[in-house]
Chains A and B, each alone.
Chain A
């Protein structure tokens, strides 16, 4: 564990000092510095530390790096969204390098222009709401947290659906075609500003915050009122 952390720190240093070539940062060097300790040189994978990246492609590399899920300090940590360690240019370089390791999928395009919000809600409820909650506010599965999606860009949504990162299932085109994927991405976009015509949305997760408001705002206000009306101890 500590070796991995050490390697990571070293890699970050190297990354910061990576010589910028005319084309930008050196993806291979970055990879060797920050990723190879778990994923192996040439991305073959290290048993017990990290899987092979030879079929991961630009799709996975871009997703994991942009959402800061990788690099991961400790292989047994859950990869969660963090501010990305690398700059855009470095991510592009790393992604290109990982893509070059084998025949992996490219970054999927997402066409939101013709997206059907209703179909997206339907598909999201069918495939995603069980873990991510029907308004993409996140939830849990035994052993992990399914994160809220308000920070996810449409591309990230598409990538995650196709990759199935960490414990998430992966959905192929045969199950969710590109059209439906765009619908889902559009719906996730929409959940950032849902229709809260009822007022303060208190989290959009339903009865728990509602119960807290009922007790700690509603009943509390009325307790204050009856304290004003009534007496405190017999005079």
Chain B
């Protein structure tokens, strides 16, 4: 019994904080909710905290982003640079680029905030992906959490869009090239692409001067509001459904076993918040990211080698690079321009599959009931194998996108890598499926019979030099090796 409880039972002074809680109750009637919040139980497995990493990275993004928004100017109006960075002295550049330079060079702690913000974006999405993988492979997306899953997939999509909009705002050479490609992909959407691209850009690329303001509005207002709202909804569902848990002693489909929020879990989670912020600020101060002064300002007629998008769009550059030069055109019209396949169809398929996962899982397992206990990946070999196969497909395309640096690093010719990737996208997922399914089954078997272990066969060397199988428990005899 806590000291506070003791005091109240003795009839002596009321427990400290009682007045505060009374104050809140008189206005909001919130003490039942507070009680529930304090007693809310969190299962303790470490992999359940991946989503929290994403959440805390988002908080750092909002904080650092607010700082940046107070200095950044989104205008395409041109100015001449007369600052201290010699290679740009006398250069004409947009105010967007200029104000980002200023943030990086003259505003105290400006570069720290900019770099922390950018690292936070990369890690935000990395944590979402890690979290998504955990949820998938433990089948936490099953009823009643299929809506939570759909919200999560939407959050991933919005986060990727938000990141792209964010790093495109400074109008530097690298991100400008990325915007041109986004325009090309938008144009490639069948039939409506041209009008769609003109709608977004306000005309032919590079668009009207309003385009940069649209990026800004999207990045600092529309998308953060939407993401914040969806995060709140996502958490509301998680709380309403309570967290899932692994099987174990005392754990059933009807309870949750773990640490209550107060005091231990709240402190640990707060600790994770500070740890996330610490990692992000350490990276932001110590490791350079997106040094736009080195890239120079963007012009539509300039390009640099080795231009890549941020990591979470690497799968799209891979798709665009490995696709053969196929365009569907007849009757004088181009129905499907090439960038559509790698830049639009590919992500549509991937996100379509992600959204469909709860439904697909129900169909394939014929299991429509509510689940609160998690599967270990091995418990459903087919699901795990399909998931690994799909992941390997996306990962293959992702790595193909960096084939130029792979050539420089490892000497493998570029064209050979592209041809390999074109074949591998069909072959590798099948292989991964088969291998993963087999591994899951072996793991299941070794769980059921721990003494038997790996279902191999013992062999012994015969004097003739060959191998003979030793049947378990049988006398030694020569025999064919299977």
A–B in direct contact per CB < 8 Å:
yes
B288 and A199 form a contact (CB under 8 A): yes
- A129 and B302 in contact (CB under 8 A), knowing A121-B87, A198-B289, A217-B283? yes
Which of these binds chain B: A90-98, A106-114, A138-146, A151-159?
Answer: A138-146
- A226 and B272 in contact (CB under 8 A), knowing A117-B87, A137-B306? yes
Q: Which 3 A-B pairs have the closest CB atoms?
A: A234-B248, A139-B305, A211-B311
Tell me the bound Cα distance from A217 to B77 in angstroms.
39
Which of these binds chain B: A22-30, A66-74, A171-179, A189-197?
Answer: A189-197
B205 at the interface (CB under 8 A from A): no
B311 and A232 form a contact (CB under 8 A): no
Q: Which of B49, B280, B291, B414 contacts A230 (CB 8 A)?
A: B49
A117-131, CB < 8 A from B: 117-118, 120-122, 125-126, 129-131
How many pairs of residues, A versus B, come closer than 8 Å at their CB atoms?
192
Which of these binds chain B: A4-12, A13-21, A45-53, A201-209?
Answer: A201-209
B45 at the interface (CB under 8 A from A): yes
Residues of chain B with a CB closer than 8 A to A225's CB = 272, 275
Residues of chain A with a CB closer than 8 A to B362's CB = none
B211 at the interface (CB under 8 A from A): no
Tell me the bound Cα distance from A202 to B246 in angstroms.
40
* Chain A interfacial positions (CB closer than 8 Å to B): 117-118, 120-122, 125-126, 129-135, 137-140, 142-143, 145-146, 187, 190, 194-202, 204-208, 210-211, 213-215, 217-219, 221-223, 225-227, 229-235
- A230 and B289 in contact (CB under 8 A), knowing A132-B305, A195-B294, A206-B306? no
Task: With CB as the reference atom, state the residue of chain A lying closest to B302.
Answer: A125
A133 and B283 form a contact (CB under 8 A): no
Which of these binds chain A: B118-126, B353-361, B447-455?
Answer: B118-126
B197 at the interface (CB under 8 A from A): no
Question: Do most interface residues of chain B lie in helix, strand or loop, or is the interface mixed?
Answer: helix
Tell me the bound Cα distance from A234 to B104 in angstroms.
48
Residues of chain B with a CB closer than 8 A to A196's CB = 288, 291
Residues of chain B with a CB closer than 8 A to A214's CB = 119, 122-123, 126, 311
Tell me the bound Cα distance from A233 to B246 in angstroms.
8
* Residue of B49, B295, B304 with most chain A CB atoms under a 10 A cut-off: B304
Residues of chain B with a CB closer than 8 A to A204's CB = 291, 294
Tell me the bound Cα distance from A143 to B130 in angstroms.
37
B253-293, CB < 8 A from A: 257, 268, 271-272, 275-276, 279-280, 283, 285-291, 293
Residues of chain A with a CB closer than 8 A to B268's CB = 229
B445 to chain A, nearest CB (A): 20
B173 and A134 form a contact (CB under 8 A): yes
Residues of chain A with a CB closer than 8 A to B246's CB = 233-234
Q: Which of B53, B111, B287, B309 contacts A197 (CB 8 A)?
A: B111
A130 and B305 form a contact (CB under 8 A): yes
Residues of chain A with a CB closer than 8 A to B307's CB = 206
The total of chain B residues at the interface (CB under 8 A) is 72
Q: Which of B50, B89, B287, B288 contacts A226 (CB 8 A)?
A: B50
B460 at the interface (CB under 8 A from A): no
Tell me the bound Cα distance from A198 to B103 in angstroms.
12
Residues of chain B with a CB closer than 8 A to A138's CB = 305-306, 408
Residues of chain A with a CB closer than 8 A to B50's CB = 226
Q: Which of B123, B126, B285 contacts A199 (CB 8 A)?
A: B285
B245 at the interface (CB under 8 A from A): yes
B476 to chain A, nearest CB (A): 40
Task: With CB as the reference atom, state the residue of chain A lying closest to B130.
Answer: A219
- A118 and B405 in contact (CB under 8 A), knowing A125-B302, A214-B122, A214-B123? no
B126 and A219 form a contact (CB under 8 A): yes
A-B contact sample (15 more), CB < 8 A, given A134-B296, A194-B294, A197-B288: A130-B305, A139-B304, A139-B305, A140-B408, A142-B415, A143-B415, A198-B115, A201-B288, A210-B290, A211-B310, A213-B283, A227-B46, A229-B268, A231-B44, A233-B45
Tell me the bound Cα distance from A126 to B297 in angstroms.
12
- A117 and B45 in contact (CB under 8 A), knowing A198-B289, A211-B310, A222-B53? no
Residues of chain A with a CB closer than 8 A to B289's CB = 198, 210
Tell me the bound Cα distance from A194 to B122 in angstroms.
24
B427 to chain A, nearest CB (A): 25
